[in-house]
Chain A
Amino acid sequence: MRKFDTKVQHLKYKVLREVARLAWKDELMENILDIPQTIIPGKVPSMRCCVFKERALIGERVKLAMGGDKKNPNVIEVISDACDECPVGGYLVTDMCRGCLAHRCEDVCKRGAITFDEHQKAHIDKSKCVECGQCAKVCPYSAIMDFKRPCERACKIKAIKMGPDKTAEIDNEKCISCGACVYQCPFGAISDKSFILDVINFIKESKENSAYKVYAVVAPSISSQFTYAKLGQVITGIKELGFHTVVEAALGADIVSYNEAKELVEKGFLTSSCCPAFVSYIQKFFPDMAKNISHNLSPAAAISKYIKETDPTSKVVFIGPCTAKKMEFQKEEVRPYIDSVITFEELQALFDSKDLDITSMKEDVLDNASYYGRIFARSCGLTDAVREALKEQDVQNFELKPVPCDGIEQCRMALLKASKNMLDGNFVEGMACVGGCIGGAGCLTHGEKNKAEVDKYGREAMEKTITDALKTIHMIKDEKH
């Protein structure tokens, strides 16, 4: 039973679990200072120089688990004291350099940054080097390495820089809150803020869903998570936490693909609006392209909007793989529908904060959406769904030319081309995470089989077409108008 990919995630989880455990009992405030000691007992350090630093950093993580720095609008935050101040050498020649005769590195370097010492070993003149990496590519011994910081390497939009004190700093003007750095920092020095306390409060104040009902909207990528249990047991677990019921965000995806197909035909060119980090990327880096962003809400927001229509006093919590969703739900156009967002990591912490062993629970059902809504969780799913929606709506004289992009680098290429009218395509499916949502930073685990798991979950849906999945909603809406 492997719950997490890394020990950093595990540490974060332990903090979230302790904070939640105390919060359920209304004992957080009086016991808050004891959490570091609970998590780091004894006198022998296991992570840092001493237990005192370890505990101090747990204290910082407790702050993040409680919502983090309220003055910082970004949901991604650096724990400065946890940052190891990794060296920022960039491309360096290692001992593997054999001082060969060919000197390919020298020939390929357009800046003349490569010099040789008396042993014919290469050196890089950092005053000339622009970190293009060509020398590393051509070296037959792979002797030139890129010693970039993991956070900076993870951040494809270059929003992370070394601050004056050598710790990582996030440029909020650029950051799209995708969470790539959160997942990649080996010291756990960058983390997403948590809203678990808000969620616990919603549940507690609902008085067992009598004052109002608390709905969980789960992302379809849940099918690749909690693999140690059955999906039906996860659903039971979510209800045991105190949620009134669980609804598939994938049904929102059905709504989105149905409407997006229409909008695409109408406008002729569209970039998708499902991924909040991709939308934010366009707004920040390609503002001229913002007019092409689909006007559809994201699937999570679309289904939450529908839930609020059926139950206006409800509270809706989105549970997914995504840190950028924590920004999205605070946007003016989404705030009325989604009340809070937590990740799968945080859901695991909530389960364990109540000592819920989901593996021993009976299986509940989760079935609202179609195959197409469910496969949104992986790259190309949205494209497949829009193609299907065009077919189901019997659209003639329109050829879908999709450009599915996963990972910011692919998104960037497509947007660059599109901004110059050189893109051979009329629909850009943009997902900031590699592989789509299953690659999200808030996932417990990331694995090779995740895409297959999503497809399997898709095939298990009772409804096989988008139209069928939406039929009930459409019939009810028809009656109203």
Chain B
Amino acid sequence: MKITVCIGSSCHLKGSKAVVGELQQLIAENNLKDKIELAGTFCMGRCQEGVCVTVDDKFYSVSPETTKEFFLNDVMPKVK
């Protein structure tokens, strides 16, 4: 599974650094380093919905506050 976080200007200002940090921690805590690849990209073209995140090709709008919820609800169930 590949989680891509937008680190372009708009998402950076909305806290992509915190989102990446939180995801990194959650991946480590759940021992999922082998199963989840964390990647960055500059702009997904949906700046209004930032912080923009995709899980494989599915789009999610995440914020530093909702990262944990996103991980539990949208990432964990899909990890095999």
Contacts and interface: CB of A to CB of B under 8 A. Distances in A.
B13 A310 contact: no
A365 B10 CA distance: 6
Question: Chain B interface mostly helix, strand, loop or mixed?
Answer: mixed
A247 interface: yes
A219 interface: no
B24 A473 contact: no
Nearest to B25: A475
Interface in A218-256: 235, 244-248
Interface in A244-274: 244-248
**Taking each of A244, A471, A476, which has the highest tally of chain B beta carbons within 10 Å of its own beta carbon?**
A476
B16 A310 contact: no
B42 A215 contact: yes
Interface in A340-391: 364-368
Contacts of B12: 367-368, 462, 472
A307 B18 CA distance: 20
Interface residues of A, number: 26
Interface string A113-150: 00000000000000000000000000000000000000
A247 B13 contact: no
Contact of B45 (A244, A310, A475): A244
A476 B39 contact: yes
Interface string A300-336: 0000000100110000000000000000000000000
A173 interface: no
Contacts of B37: 479-480
A29 B12 CA distance: 43
For the complex of A and B, the 5 pairs showing the least CB-CB separation, nearest first, are A245-B43, A479-B38, A476-B40, A365-B9, A367-B9
Interface of A: 209, 215, 235, 244-248, 307, 310-311, 364-368, 462, 468, 471-473, 475-476, 478-480
